[in-house]
Structure 1
Amino acid sequence: MALDEKNVVLDTSRLEEIATPALIQAKPKKTWASYIWDTFDKSPEERRFLFKLDAAILTFASLGYFIKYLDQANISNAFVSGMKEDLSLFGNQLNYMTTAWTVGYVVGQIPSNMLLTRIRPSIWIPACEVIWTVLTMCLSKCNTATQIYVLRFFVGLAESAFYPGMQYVIGSWYRKDELAKRSCIFHTSSALGTMFSGYLMAAVYHLEGKGGLRGWQWLFIIDGVISLPVAIGGFFILPDVPEITKAWYLKPEEIEYSKQRMLLEGREQRRPYTKAKFAKIFKSWHIYLLSLLYIFFNNGAAGATPVFAQYLKDSKKPKYTVSQINVYPTGTNAVQVVSTLAYAWISDSVLNGARWPPIVFGGIMNIMCYVSLAIWSIPVGWKWACYYIMGTGFGLSGLCMAWAHEICGEDNEERALVVGSMNEMAYVLQAWLPLLIWQQVDAPNYQKGFITISAFGVLLIVTAFTIRYLWHKELLRKGRDSHFDAGESVGESVSGNKQAGGVLVKDE
Structure 2
Amino acid sequence: MKLDLSILVFGCFSFFTKYLDQKSITNAYVSGMKEEIGLLGNELNYLTAIFWASYCTAMIPTCYFITQYPANIVLPSLELGWGLATFGLAWAQNVNTLYAMRFFVGLFECASFAGTIYIIGSWYKPSETARRVALFYISSLLGTMFAGYLQAAAYTNLNGVNGLSGWRYCNEFDNWRMEDWHPGIRWLFIIDTIITLGIALFGFTFFPDIPARRKPLLLSHAEHTLARKRLVGYTAPPGLKLSRSIFKHVLRRWHFYAFVLLWTLMDLNGQIGGQPFSLYLKAYSPSVYSVVQVNTLPTIGTACSIVGALLAGIAADRIGNFWMPAMATTLLLMVGTIMLVVWNIGETGRLVAFILEGFVGPISPMAMSWATVTMASDAEERAVVTASMNSIGQAITAGVQVVMYPATGAPRWVSSFKANLGLNIVQIIGIMAIVYLGRRETDTKVTETDMEAAIVTGGDGVQDHVQKVL
Taking structure 2 as the reference length, what is the TM-score of the superposition?
Answer: 0.90
**In structure 2, which of residues 142, 149, 164 is the aligned counterpart of residue 212 of structure 1?**
164
CA-to-aligned-CA distance 1:128-172 (integer Å, 9 cap, x gap):
111111111111111111211111011011111110110011011
Identity of aligned residues (%): 33
Task: Give the secondary-structure state (helix, strand or coil) at the position aligned to 1:116.
Answer: helix
RMSD: 1.8
What is the aligned partner in structure 2 of residue 11 from structure 1?
none
In 1: Cα distance, 2:285 partner to 2:224 partner: 61
Counterparts of 1:131-142 in structure 2 under 5 Å?
Answer: 131-142=81-92
Do 2:72 and 2:204's aligned partners in 1 also have CA atoms closer than 8 Å? yes
How big is the shift at 1:279? 2.4
CA contact (8 A) 2:270 2:360 kept: yes
Distance 1:331 1:368 in 2: 17
1:291 pairs with 2:231: no
Residue of 100, 104, 109 corresponding to 1:159: 109
Residue 309 of structure 1 and its aligned partner are, at CA, apart by 2.4
Structure 2: which amino acid aligns with 1:421? S
Q: Which residue of 1 aligns with 2:344?
A: 377
Alpha-carbon offset, residue 227 of structure 1: 2.1
Amino acid at match of 1:241: I
Q: How does 1:27-426 map to 2 (within 5 A)?
A: 51-205=1-155, 206-210=157-161, 211-214=163-166, 215-302=184-271, 305-315=274-284, 318-349=287-318, 351=319, 353-426=320-393
C-alpha displacement of 1:313: 2.2
C-alpha separation in 2, matches of 1:168 and 1:385: 36
SS of corresponding position for 1:241? coil
In terms of mean alpha carbon deviation, does 99-108 or 254-263 score higher?
Answer: 254-263
Question: 1:361 Cα deviation (Å)?
Answer: 1.8
* Divergent runs of 4+, >4 A: none
Task: Name the CA distance, whole Å, in 1 between partners of 2:312 and 2:144.
Answer: 20
Q: CA deviation at 1:241?
A: 1.3
CA distance in 2, matches of 1:301, 1:175: 29
User: Do the aligned residues in 2 keep the contact of 1:408 with 1:415 (CA within 8 Å)?
Assistant: yes
- Distance (whole Å) between structure 2 residues aligned to residue 457 and residue 248 of structure 1: 45
Q: CA deviation at 1:452?
A: 2.3
Deviation at 1:270, TM superposition (A): 2.0
- Pairing 1:405-484 to 2, within 5 Å after superposition: 405-484=372-451
- The 3 A distance-change label for structure 1 pair 83 and 466 is same
Give 3-state SS (helix, strand or coil) of 2:31's partner.
helix
Q: Is the 8 A contact 2:302 2:358 kept in 1?
A: yes
Cα deviations by residue, 1:306-357 (Å, 9 ceiling, x for unpaired):
22322222226853221121112111111111011011111111x2x20111
- Number of matched pairs: 438
Deviation (angstroms), 1:305: 4.3
Q: Secondary structure at the match of 1:297?
A: helix
The whole-number CA distance in structure 2 between the counterparts of 1:287 and 1:396 is 17
Cα distance between partner residues in 2 of 1:391 and 1:304: 6
Q: In the TM superposition, what is the alpha-carbon distance from 1:444 to its structure 2 partner?
A: 1.2
**Deviation of 1:461 (Å):** 1.0
Pairwise CA distance, 1:375: 2.2
Please tell me the residue identity of whatever aligns with 1:159. Answer: E
Could you state the TM-score of these two structures normalised by the residue count of structure 1?
0.83
Displacement of 1:252 after TM fit? 1.1
Structure 1 unaligned blocks of 5 or more: 1-50, 491-508
Q: Which moved more, 1:154-163 or 1:442-451?
A: 442-451
Tell me the amino acid that sits aligned with residue 391 of structure 2: E
**Does the residue aligned with 2:10 lie in a helix, a strand or coil?**
helix
- Higher helix residue share: 2
Structure 2 vs 1, CA of residues 305 and 269 (structure 1 numbering), >3 Å: closer, same or farther?
A: closer
Which residue identity lines up with residue 208 of structure 2 in the other structure? Answer: P
* Distance (whole Å) between structure 1 residues aligned to residue 201 and residue 134 of structure 2: 24
User: After superposition, what is the alpha-carbon deviation per residue over 1:241-282, rounded to whole angstroms, capped at 9, x for unaligned?
Assistant: 111133111011211111122113143432333444332211
Tell me, yes or no, if the aligned pair for 2:335 and 2:356 is still in contact at 8 Å. no
Hey, what's the Cα distance between the residues in 2 that align with 1:372 and 1:385? Answer: 9
| Matches of 2:102 and 2:240, distance apart in 1 | 35
The letter for the 2-side match of 1:434 is: Q
| Cα distance between partner residues in 2 of 1:135 and 1:189 | 21
8 Å CA contact 2:272, 2:357 repeated in 1 = no
Deviates more, 1:140-149 or 1:212-221: 212-221
Q: CA deviation at 1:448?
A: 3.1
Aligned to 1:100, what secondary structure does the other structure show? helix
- Specify the code of the residue in structure 2 equivalent to 1:449: S
